[in-house]
Chain A
């Protein structure tokens, strides 16, 4: 089997289509993102004008939190009446309205970087509040220390600005990029499946007519495709982390585990799509492109806020969107430090991959074709 895996890797490496899209293309895209976001990064931290409207008198903590941020220069908050704030928002004098209610909320009239910053500020407040509540519930004796830290909003905000603990608001694009690169493994998987389906090429017919066990054949192709693609994405990750110096500063073994799981997912997806249905190969490649691009888009590859929007309005989509799961796992390592969510993401990916492979094996195992 090693003999077959070795040759399988050799021919894949020498095949331009199989090599370019999963390996070269994400590196080019990452470089372009890096160049494009170079200037945006500086603009990220311009002071954002916003209004705060008091809806309850018991909003002291939230107002103090905003004042601290104002000192930091991140936002410029002006207290207004509701109608006045609405008018200012309509005239685009402010980027959003923060309502100091029992549960504070945000109102904006468009999507953009400033609005994302305001959303992040609000989320940071909720995170802090939740932390205090947890401390009160579990360790009341440490409440004093916790409150002191809560009072030091400036420090807290610095640590969890924009994307959580990262200071780079554009990191989400790169997480989505790595996620999409993992899914590009489907093109390697597609190459494998093409080689497993006698009706797709004379090469496949020759292999299928051989005495090589079909399940072993599938495993061989899966293993070679996976090893190759894992290497592809590991190089991409190394390039983003050490060459471009991006925010992939979390624990490396955990990040490698994410791309490992993501690569299995990508390759499995390719094998599945090529194994099922009677469509022409070109149509199947189109389907894979559609799946990877849609998954990447919903995970925030083209528009960083898309992940938040989907999480807010249709969270179930990103619970099963492989690109979003991979990106989310990167957030868990680099931003949230949330092991349980990280584990859930990887488990979901693993189960989905196993299901796809099981279907592929069942379809391909004993198949005879209607026509060749």
Chain B
């Protein structure tokens, strides 16, 4: 089932049409269609093996594909389309830096692949070092850096030349929460400065936090795309309410099930779990019902629907399965 809630207008900054990539009999990308608009942080969300990295590698013209078309900045992407490549930056899933060079030298080297002018390059490298917060580590070798700092160096190497389009393939894998927050803030800042970002992750919280539009991938296909609100609005589930320490008889449970917008109510071991359709004041209505029947209760939790619910709704499996 393919669902999409955005209506494609003019061709995006990145346009992918019917992209098919096979590894032998395994279909890694199955007629993938995507459009990334200028100025977006576009999230590619999906479980491991869903085809996110394969899609990125195809967009970078590193990988052969069997069918389809990729256009970036309105031009067909090819290994020797250097005009397009000069405005692209990449931050790969695996840290790609030289162990033999210092932090400064690494960034200078990669920036030098795009920027020939020495003075301009120095400015950009200094700026990138400040941006990722590695000022105190500029003369250190990568192996002396912690995992989080290494990831920041990896990002600096990909963005120092100020690209218009940045591909970030799971840049926060194996990173501590502090570094992760710093990286995510940095990505949003890059976007504010004018870069369009394609961001892949299997962490739905990250994607929810930073992406302006999201495509959910599974088995090489885009199963849904849109803003977070559009995606969560696609499914029946609205608010999820959990009430602990509650004792109910059959009649009381029947009354709760009969409340407006409650479409599922499970009661087990003193815990009541309710799923409501999208509507306002669900929690108030439920608590009012409990009070009316003089039912005592303990802690109460309310959760808004997540992208995981969307994924679960569409595929029948958890995003992190």
B157 contacts A369, C-beta separation under 8 Å:
no
B112 contacts A368, C-beta separation under 8 Å:
no
Residue interface mask B78-97, A partner, CB < 8 A = 1: 11101101101010111111
Partner of B64, one of A11, A214, A369: A369
A7 at the binding interface (Cβ < 8 Å): yes
A372 at the binding interface (Cβ < 8 Å): yes
Q: Which residues of B contact A211 (CB under 8 A)?
A: 82-83, 85-86, 88, 113-114
Residue interface mask A1-33, B partner, CB < 8 A = 1: 001100100111011000000000000000000
Residue interface mask A357-372, B partner, CB < 8 A = 1: 0000000011111111
Q: Which residues of B contact A72 (CB under 8 A)?
A: none
Q: For residue B176, give the distance in angstroms from its CB to the closest CB of chain A.
A: 21
Complex CA distance for A12 and B99, rounded to whole angstroms: 11
Given contacts A10-B101, A202-B94, A371-B63, contact A210 B109 (CB under 8 A): no
Complex CA distance for A357 and B108, rounded to whole angstroms: 28
Q: Which residues of B contact A206 (CB under 8 A)?
A: 90, 92, 96, 110, 157-158
Complex CA distance for A203 and B96, rounded to whole angstroms: 5
A205 contacts B62, C-beta separation under 8 Å:
yes
Q: Which residues of A contact B86 (CB under 8 A)?
A: 211
Question: Which interface class (under 10, 10 to 19, 20 to 34, 35 or more) fits B?
Answer: 35 or more
A368 contacts B80, C-beta separation under 8 Å:
no
A10 contacts B62, C-beta separation under 8 Å:
no
B80 contacts A371, C-beta separation under 8 Å:
no
Q: For residue B58, give the distance in angstroms from its CB to the closest CB of chain A.
A: 9
A368 contacts B85, C-beta separation under 8 Å:
no
B90 contacts A209, C-beta separation under 8 Å:
yes
Q: Which residues of B contact A14 (CB under 8 A)?
A: 100-101
A208 contacts B92, C-beta separation under 8 Å:
no
Q: Which residues of B contact A199 (CB under 8 A)?
A: 62
Q: Which residues of B contact A372 (CB under 8 A)?
A: 57, 62-63
B64 contacts A202, C-beta separation under 8 Å:
no
Q: Which residues of A contact B100 (CB under 8 A)?
A: 10-12, 14-15
A368 contacts B90, C-beta separation under 8 Å:
no
Residue of A at shortest CB range from B84? A211
Q: For residue A372, give the distance in angstroms from its CB to the closest CB of chain B.
A: 5
Q: For residue B298, give the distance in angstroms from its CB to the closest CB of chain A.
A: 50
Binding site for A on B (CB under 8 A): 23, 57, 60-64, 78-80, 82-83, 85-86, 88, 90, 92-98, 100-101, 105, 108-110, 112-114, 116, 118, 157-158
Question: Which interface class (under 10, 10 to 19, 20 to 34, 35 or more) fits A?
Answer: 20 to 34
Task: Give the A-B contact count at a CB cut-off of 8 A.
Answer: 95
Given contacts A209-B88, A368-B79, contact A11 B98 (CB under 8 A): yes
Q: Which residues of B contact A370 (CB under 8 A)?
A: 23, 63-64
Complex CA distance for A11 and B82, rounded to whole angstroms: 26
| 24 A/B residue pairs, CB under 8 Å, sorted by A | A3-B108, A4-B112, A7-B105, A10-B101, A11-B101, A14-B100, A201-B96, A202-B93, A202-B96, A205-B57, A205-B96, A206-B92, A206-B110, A209-B61, A209-B62, A209-B88, A210-B114, A212-B114, A213-B80, A366-B79, A368-B61, A369-B62, A372-B62, A372-B63
Q: Which residues of A contact B158 (CB under 8 A)?
A: 206
Max chain B Cβ within 10 angstroms of own Cβ: one of A11, A15, A207, A211: A211
Q: Which residues of A contact B108 (CB under 8 A)?
A: 3, 7
A214 contacts B112, C-beta separation under 8 Å:
no
A182 at the binding interface (Cβ < 8 Å): no
Complex CA distance for A201 and B113, rounded to whole angstroms: 17
Query: Nearest 3 pairs between A and B by C-beta?
Result: A14-B100, A202-B96, A211-B86
B112 contacts A7, C-beta separation under 8 Å:
yes
A198 at the binding interface (Cβ < 8 Å): yes
Max chain A Cβ within 10 angstroms of own Cβ: one of B80, B112, B116: B112
B113 contacts A198, C-beta separation under 8 Å:
no
Partner of A371, one of B23, B82, B88, B90: B23
Complex CA distance for A212 and B82, rounded to whole angstroms: 7
B113 contacts A212, C-beta separation under 8 Å:
yes
A208 contacts B79, C-beta separation under 8 Å:
yes
Partner of A210, one of B57, B95, B110: B110
Partner of B98, one of A203, A367, A368: A203
Q: For residue B98, give the distance in angstroms from its CB to the closest CB of chain A.
A: 5
B57 contacts A3, C-beta separation under 8 Å:
no
A208 contacts B62, C-beta separation under 8 Å:
yes
B62 contacts A203, C-beta separation under 8 Å:
no
Partner of B105, one of A10, A207, A369: A10
Partner of B79, one of A3, A10, A203, A367: A367
Q: Which residues of B contact A12 (CB under 8 A)?
A: 100
A207 contacts B101, C-beta separation under 8 Å:
no
A4 contacts B79, C-beta separation under 8 Å:
no
Given contacts A10-B105, A368-B64, A371-B63, contact A207 B113 (CB under 8 A): yes
Q: Which residues of A contact B90 (CB under 8 A)?
A: 205-206, 209
Q: Which residues of A contact B105 (CB under 8 A)?
A: 7, 10
Residue of A at shortest CB range from B81? A211
Q: Which residues of A contact B113 (CB under 8 A)?
A: 4, 207, 210-212
Complex CA distance for A98 and B263, rounded to whole angstroms: 109
Q: For residue A223, give the distance in angstroms from its CB to the closest CB of chain B.
A: 15
Residue of A at shortest CB range from B85? A211
Q: For residue B217, give the distance in angstroms from its CB to the closest CB of chain A.
A: 18
B92 contacts A205, C-beta separation under 8 Å:
yes
Q: Which residues of A contact B109 (CB under 8 A)?
A: 3-4, 7
Complex CA distance for A198 and B96, rounded to whole angstroms: 11
Q: Which residues of A contact B110 (CB under 8 A)?
A: 206, 210
B80 contacts A365, C-beta separation under 8 Å:
yes
Q: Which residues of B contact A212 (CB under 8 A)?
A: 82, 113-114
Q: Which residues of A contact B23 (CB under 8 A)?
A: 370-371
Q: For residue B208, give the distance in angstroms from its CB to the closest CB of chain A.
A: 27
Q: For residue B54, give the distance in angstroms from its CB to the closest CB of chain A.
A: 9
Q: Which residues of B contact A213 (CB under 8 A)?
A: 80, 82
Complex CA distance for A120 and B221, rounded to whole angstroms: 75
Q: For residue B49, give the distance in angstroms from its CB to the closest CB of chain A.
A: 14
A202 contacts B112, C-beta separation under 8 Å:
no
B98 contacts A3, C-beta separation under 8 Å:
no
